[in-house]
Amino acid sequence: MTKAEVVNEISERTGIEKAVVQESIESFFKVVKGSIVKGENVYFRGFGSFVVQRRAQKIARNISKNTQITIPAHNIPKFKPAKTFVEKVKNG
């Protein structure tokens, strides 16, 4: 599914105008991204959590060229699905 299809389905299910659903969902993505960029996790009970994970500095080697580069410590966004979500998918 794409965003347009998801917006259509939400609009059909709820009766809320497509344009309003679309604006809500786009704002939702911005708010979640903004929070993660600030290092603040976002928790949605029954769906899952968007969290920031820290990756330590590491040294990567290119064996064939015999060189090495240092990858500095950095953050990555992660999603941890809720238990109920995991169970539904497992048994689905």
Interface with a copy of itself (CB under 8 A): 1-3, 6, 9-10, 13-14, 16, 20-21, 23-25, 27-33, 35-48, 50, 52, 74-79, 81, 85-86, 88-92
Decide whether 24 or 68 has the Cβ nearer to a copy of itself: 24
What's the min distance (Å) between Cβ of 63 and a copy of itself?
A: 25
What's the min distance (Å) between Cβ of 84 and a copy of itself?
A: 9
Determine the Cα–Cα distance for residues 33 and 42; give it in Å rounded to an integer.
9
Decide whether 56 or 63 has the Cβ nearer to a copy of itself: 56
Q: Which residues of 41-67 are buried (b: 16+ CB within 10 A; e: fewer)?
A: ebeeeeebebbbeeeeeeeeeeeeeee
**Are 22 and 5 a contacting pair, CB within 8 Å?**
no
